[in-house]
Amino acid sequence: MAEGDIFDICVIGGAGHVGLPLSIQFANHGKKVCVYDINPDSLTLIERGTMPFKEKGAEPLLKKALKEKSLSVSLNAEVISLSRIVIMVVGTPVDEFLNPKTGDLFKILEKYLNFFKPGQLLVLRSTVYPGTSRNIYNYLRNNGKDMGVAFCPERIAEGYAIEELVKLPQIVSSFTEEGLKRTKELFSVLTKDLIELSPEEAELTKLFNNSWRYIKFAAANQFFMIANDYGYDYARIHHAMTHNYPRAKDFPKPGFAAGPCLFKDTMQLSAFNNNNFILGHTAMLINEGLPNYIIKHLEGNRDISSLKVGILGMAFKGNSDDKRDSLSYKLKKILEFKCAKVYCSDPYIADEGFVSSSELIDFSDVVILAAPHSVYKSLDLKNKPLVDIWNFYNGGYKI
């Protein structure tokens, strides 16, 4: 470490879904890490050895790192200047018009500018609008900060970061040879499988990866809707499509495709290509339209204004406690407009007005399984009519 450095790495946004598992893994691979964040509640939990969100296998490693003093937390931005490497992984959302909020990252950089120092390496880990990394590199240089800048996208599936960070290949990119060398040294403690790209190639790779996944889900949802509209059992068709058939091996099953990444990254790619991304937009209409499709089928030709509906699972995906951009909430909003009463339940999310799963089943005329949490397998549904777009209970896709 250079003189004055206390930490190998400071992670700005280190208490988040990407920042924290990454911090924990670096701290368990020989690095001295400081988690810097503006969320005091999360930092208090982390300091006590408790994960602020569900992340498989993370808590024992967090406790170990705290005990060994390889991980600490701070609410004080000064820790940035005490670190050799700074990783930045704050949220990069799109706005209400689905345009990337490209200015947000710069506002944060501006806020911390005085804490950056020449010779540091800044690693951008958030998914960014293409060209952002170069703009940041130029911005820092224009402000007298002669630092290395790298873009190394996070590609984990939320909830599985701990195992995937040391399993997945890592994309590395920087603007100088020295920056690339230091970036490779940094990530080689987690994986030897490094892929070198230019920053712009790396930015596009991340957006292509997420958009591709989003488009695949849309294809699955569209096929399901076609089969269902014609009265065919999609479970049988999906099995036939994929069973021992290598070219359709990774064809996904239908279900809510949502969460904080896929939708907004598809929209970032579209904005980058001057809104000329018809596949992405179509995928968005199909995936975001699935709640409406369910309700349309629930209605059929009847009046549902006196119906009481239960939504089981409010997280954006099964076994997660993350409700960001969850389609369960969209479903709830439309149902509240049309039905007499909507009950919501999720074992991992504490929200005002939620009921337990057994209350939900008792109170509702019909139950919609929105997030397929494994714990629901043993739930007694008491023969209530069920909408199961996941074929979770192996009774076929029920709608």
Ligand X SMILES: NC(=O)c1ccc[n+]([C@@H]2O[C@H](COP(=O)([O-])OP(=O)(O)OC[C@H]3O[C@@H](n4cnc5c(N)ncnc54)[C@H](O)[C@@H]3O)[C@@H](O)[C@H]2O)c1
Binding site for ligand X (CB under 6 A): 12-13, 15-19, 36-39, 42, 89-92, 108, 126-127, 154, 156, 158, 260-261
164: Cβ contacts below 8 Å, ≥ 6 apart:
155, 156, 157
Q: In angstroms, what is the minimal distance from the CB of 144 to ligand X?
A: 21
Given the complex with ligand X, which of 37 and 388 has the nearer CB atom?
37
Q: Which residue is nearest to ligand X (CB)?
A: 16
From residue 262, give the alpha-carbon distance in Å to each of 219, 223, 229, 283, 285: 14, 20, 27, 10, 13
List, in order, residues 6 or more apart from 233 with CB less than 8 Å away. Answer: 227, 396, 397
Q: How far is the CB of 141 from ligand X (least distance, A)?
A: 22
Please spell the DSSP secondary structure of 137-187, one letter per residue.
Answer: HHHHHHTT---EEEE----PPTT-HHHHHTTS-EEE-BSSHHHHHHHHHHH
Q: What are phi and psi of 213, to 5 degrees?
A: -65, -40
> Shortest distance, CB of residue 205 to ligand X, whole angstroms?
12
Across the strands, what pairs with 94?
Answer: 100
How far apart are the C-alpha atoms of 369 and 392, rounded to whole Å?
A: 9
Residue with tokens 């990254």: 265
As a whole number of angstroms, the distance between CA 12 and CA 47 comes to 16
**Closest CB to ligand X among residues 158, 203:** 158
| Residue closer to ligand X, measured from CB, 329 or 343 | 329
Q: Which is nearer to ligand X, 160 or 393 (CB)?
A: 160
Q: Which of 210, 330, 317 has its CA nearest to residue 268? A: 210
Nearer Cβ to ligand X, position 110 or 233?
A: 110
Rounded to whole angstroms, the Cα distance separating 280 from 71 reads 40
Looking at the Cβ atoms of 263 and 376, the one nearer to ligand X is: 263
Number of Cβ within a 10 Å radius of residue 354: 17
119 vs 328: CA distance, rounded Å: 47
| Distance in Å, CB of 41 to ligand X, minimum | 9
Query: Which CB atom, from 12 or from 342, has the smaller least distance to ligand X?
Result: 12
Output the six-digit token pair for 80. Answer: 């940035």
The token pair that represents 264 in the structure block? 């907004």
Smallest separation (angstroms) from ligand X to the CB of 260:
5
Residue closer to ligand X (CB basis): 125 or 145: 125
**158 or 346, CB closer to ligand X?**
158
Nearest approach, Cβ of residue 321 and ligand X (Å): 12
Alpha carbons 120 and 108: distance in angstroms, whole number: 17
Question: Which residue number, 34 or 261, has a Cβ lying nearer to ligand X?
Answer: 261
Nearest distance from C-beta of residue 42 to ligand X, angstroms:
6
User: What gap in Å lies between CA 55 and CA 158, rounded to an integer?
Assistant: 8
Closest approach of ligand X to the CB of residue 111, in Å: 6
| DSSP state letter for 247 | G
Beta strands per DSSP E along the chain: 7-12, 33-36, 71-74, 83-88, 121-124, 148-151, 170-172, 194-196, 308-312, 341-345, 366-369, 386-388
Supply the minimum distance, in Å, between the C-beta of residue 369 and ligand X.
Answer: 23
Minimum distance between the CB of residue 12 and ligand X, rounded to whole angstroms?
A: 5
Number of H helices, E strands in the chain: 13, 12
Nearer to ligand X, 91 or 289 (CB): 91
Tell the smallest beta-carbon distance from residue 155 to ligand X (Å): 6
